[in-house]
Amino acid sequence: MADDTPMIRESPPRGPLGRMGQDTVTLITIALCLVSAATAWYLLKEFATFLRPLLLAVFLCYVIVPIHLRLKQYVSGFVSLVLMVGGSVAVLLLLALLVQSSVVALTEDLPRLEDRARGLVEQGQQWIRDQQWIHDYVPSWLSTTFSEEPGAEKQRADKIAQIALGIANVAWDFLVEAVIVGFYLLFLLLEASRFSGRVRKSFVNDQADQILAIVGNINNAIADYLRVKAKASLFLAVPVTVILWVFGVKFPVLWGVLTFLCNFIPYLGSIVAASVPILFAFLEVEPIWKPITAGLGVVAAHMVMAYLVEPAMLGKGVGLSPLVILAALAFWGQCWGLIGMFLAVPLTVMLKIVLENVAFTRPFAKMLSDE
Whole-number pLDDT of residue 197: 81
Residue 178 forms part of a structural domain: yes
- Nearby residues of 60 by Cβ (< 8 Å), 6 or more positions away: 88, 181, 185
Structural domain harbouring 67: 51-143+153-193
Total number of domains constituting the chain:
1
Q: What is the DSSP letter of 308?
A: I
Whole-number pLDDT of residue 47: 82
Whole-number pLDDT of residue 8: 47
* pLDDT tens digit sequence for 64-121: 777 777 787 787 777 777 787 777 777 777 777 777 777 777 777 767 777 777 777 7
Residue 371 forms part of a structural domain: no
Residue 98 forms part of a structural domain: yes
Residue 103 forms part of a structural domain: yes
Confidence of residue 240 (pLDDT cuts 50, 70, 90): very high
* pLDDT tens digit sequence for 125-165: 666 666 665 656 656 555 565 555 555 556 666 666 676 66
Whole-number pLDDT of residue 16: 54
* pLDDT tens digit sequence for 275-332: 888 888 888 878 888 888 999 999 999 888 888 877 777 655 567 777 888 888 888 8
Residue 138 forms part of a structural domain: yes
Q: Is the pLDDT of residue 12 over 70?
A: no
Of the two residues 215 and 238, the one the predictor is more confident about is 238
Residues 186/192/194/199 CA torsion (nearest 10 deg): 130
Buried residues in 136-158 as b, exposed as e (16+ CB within 10 A): eeeeeeebeeeeeeeeeeeeeee
Residue 16 forms part of a structural domain: no
Residue 209 forms part of a structural domain: no
Q: Is the pLDDT of residue 56 over 90?
A: no
Find the mean pLDDT for residues 5-13.
50
Percent of the chain scoring above 90 in pLDDT: 4
**pTM summary value:** 0.68
Could you tell me which of 368, 361, 273 has the C-alpha nearest to residue 318?
A: 368
Whole-number pLDDT of residue 1: 47
From 14-23, 50-59, 119-128, 181-190, the region with the lowest mean pLDDT: 14-23
Average pLDDT, the chain: 75
